[in-house]
Structure 1
Amino acid sequence: MILAVLQSRMTSARLPGKAMAPLRGEPMVWRQVERIRQARSLSKLIVATSVEPVDDPLAAFLVSRGQAVLRGAAGNLSERFARALEAAGPVSHVVRIKGDCPFVDPAIIDKVVREALDSGAAYASNRRLRSYPRGLEVEVATAGALGVALAATDPEDAATASPFARVREQAQPQAHCVAPRDLSGLDWRVKTPADYGFARAVYDALYDADPGFSMQDVLDIIQGRQDLARWAA
């Protein structure tokens, strides 16, 4: 089984509540769920959030839509990953997607998973050798490599450190996916109100015609649009 874990929370210093901010009439987190579910390589998706009251609306919404949700301590990301592994049952690989990435591309998820499977690598990503826009990162680790990282995580670091950071440092062998051209200077993450405005503009332009629009579709639509120039190549 290949398990995807989407990290999502309502807290954000610059854009509080962004997970539930609407994109074409649905919360951003749901648009991410839709896109991740289109990846053919995945067996199961769990959204990991916290037990804090601020995340209650997020969890309740997802559960009402039939989406599996796992809640854990806000200050312990490692615990949430460990519990996701346990809840999912026998898992061979874990795919990590972050919650500020509404443009996560199903085809890129499949590409990184395929690289992990074909290479036999303990860790595969399009992140370590950066060539894709930020916000399209996909990380894949074997359940064994992630388990070792979780066991080695110092309790004092669990509040802030992702176990995938330790996987990146320690797991061998590793495999890397590289884009056809270097787009590493672009940042499509939603961290500020301006970023959210960009996401809304792209979804307004692309979603109705193709809910699974690709990275190339985003590149095409922002070319020649002055209002989106800061996010263009």
Structure 2
Amino acid sequence: MRDRRPRIVCISQARMTSTRLPGKILLEAAGKSLLAHHLERLRRCGTLDAVVLATTVNRTDDPVERAGRALGLPVFRGSEQDVLSRFAGAAAMAGADLVVRVTSDCPLIDPALVDELVGGFVAGPAADYRSIDTSRFPRGLDAEVFTRAALDEAAAQATDPAEREHVTPYIYRRPDRFRIAEPLRPAPAPDGPPQRWCVDEPADFELVRRLLEALVPEKPDFGWQDCCNVLNRHPDWIGINAAVRQKTLHRPGMPMAHKEKNNGS
């Protein structure tokens, strides 16, 4: 891979049957669905060769496929629960060498952060896996990058149901087998308590809706720091979803909590 530029493919997982807020990705804010905001922001990334939407074979996810194709994106459909096999299938379809994993309930995802994550992974020491440190960034900016070889090995070898549902635990739980790069961290870290900019519950949607409606008309290419600026002007907004708790999957030896995707996978 080092002898040529790797083909870098971002795969976003999406489904309609989230447990806490069904159909959340097609809720609308600032004139379009959360899924459209999410995918259109990813298409602004300069490091990506392709963006693929990975949904399930369930008929309930036919609207997800239609939404992706309406944006001109390739769509891969696979298992609902075995998300690892879904990612492996999508990566094979797209001819990926490197895979960027994101989730569709993150409509404020920052293209510049994704580019920084991927650029550092490609230019840095050889590695198999790197993530954004969401213990220091707001949740909702989540992204991981890993090699296609690591993904394929995980898909072939993982037997733990959690490792098949959450895609990357097989990789980052095995630092003796895979080269785990230092996560991307902000410098300096944002002040104040951790914030949630992902959408799992109605309160999350209310906050994200307000941010999108405040930012999109004036600065459609906004970044995560622009969201911070809006919240500095509206500090009461931070409390809107403060009671929502993040589901986590323990990540031994890693500083970031891994977001479970029972809701948005």
TM-score computed with the length of structure 2 as normaliser:
0.81
Aligned to 2:229: 220
Aligned twin of 1:125 = 131
Instruction: Tell me, yes or no, if the aligned pair for 2:100 and 2:145 is still in contact at 8 Å.
Output: yes
The reply on whether 1:107 has 2:112 as its aligned counterpart is yes
Q: Distance in 2 between matches of 1:5 and 1:131?
A: 23
d(CA) in 1 for partners of 2:164 and 2:149?
22
The residue number in structure 2 matching 1:180 is 187
Matches within 5 A, 1:11-160: 11-89=17-95, 91-119=96-124, 120-127=126-133, 130-154=135-159, 157=161
**Structure 1 SS opposite 2:112:** helix
Separation (CA, whole Å) in 1 of partners of 2:129 and 2:112? 18
Moved beyond 4 Å, runs of 4+: none
Amino acid across the alignment from 1:102: P
Question: What letter matches 1:189 in structure 2?
Answer: C
* Larger fraction in helix: 1
CA offset digits 1:136-171 (Å, max 9, x no partner): 1110001112122111111x6178532211111122
Unpaired runs of at least 5, structure 2? 1-6, 243-265
- Per the normalisation by structure 1, the TM-score is 0.92
The more displaced of 15-24 and 163-172 is 163-172
Cα 1:160/1:124, change in 2 over 3 Å? closer
Matched positions, count: 230
CA contact (8 A) 1:125 1:139 kept: yes
Is the Cα–Cα contact under 8 Å of residues 49 and 70 in structure 1 kept in the other structure?
yes
Structure 1: segments with no counterpart, 5+ residues: none
Separation in 2, partners of 1:232, 1:32: 20
The answer on 1:163 being equivalent to 2:167 is yes
SS state at 2:168 partner: helix
Aligned partner letter, 1:76: D
Deviation of 1:11 (Å): 1.1
RMSD: 2.0
- TM superposition shift of 1:75: 1.9
Q: Give, as a single letter, the amino acid of the residue that structure 2 aligns with 1:99.
A: S
- C-alpha distance in 1 between matches for 2:119 and 2:71: 29
